[in-house]
Amino acid sequence: MTCSIFVFCEPLTGWCHAQANERRTKVDWAEQIRQLLQVYYPDAPKIRLVMDNLNTHVIASLYQAFKPQLARELAKRLEIHYTPKHGSWLDIAEIEIGVLSKQCSQRRIPSLPDLNREIYAWETLHNSSPAKIDWQFTTDDARIKLKRLYPNL
């Protein structure tokens, strides 16, 4: 069996959430976003979401999964930033996925419910003493490393 694991992480607090699904469809993504906004951050007026640029990760997916009123409410609370193809912003999530893999899922797990129990246990332990991510890639560093992306003024 294979599956897709959705991972959310908040670098400044060290909080992390992960969940395994059978697949990675638009409706699966929309449900993860609904949980993020309604369960984990119900009082946040706006969430800045940095994510990879997959065809399932679009606002239209919310409208495919939910009634228009709910989809609109969720969409208004999102500020989406897609990463460039080789963007370092995703490294933060990749680090968390690597930790999850090494500490939890680096073996055969017989079923999706078993995997999600393992992930939940890992997540609970991880979030009980979260490690903040000290991202040190500055704008000045970006202007040097990614100079082809910055215009010459």
Q: Tokens standing for 74? A: 């969720």
Strands 47-51 and 78-82: parallel
Query: CATH no. for residue 78?
Result: 3.30.420
pLDDT attached to residue 86: 62
To which residue do tokens 């055969």 refer?
Answer: 108
**Contact (Cβ atoms closer than 8 angstroms) between residue 105 and residue 115:** yes
Q: How many domains does the chain have?
A: 1
Q: Tokens standing for 63? A: 């409208």
Domain that holds residue 38: 4-149
User: Tens place of pLDDT for every residue, the chain, 153 residues?
Assistant: 688 888 898 888 889 999 999 988 999 999 999 999 999 999 999 999 888 767 778 899 999 999 999 999 999 999 988 877 666 556 777 778 888 888 776 778 889 999 999 999 989 988 998 777 666 667 777 777 777 766 666
Q: Tokens standing for 104? A: 């939890």
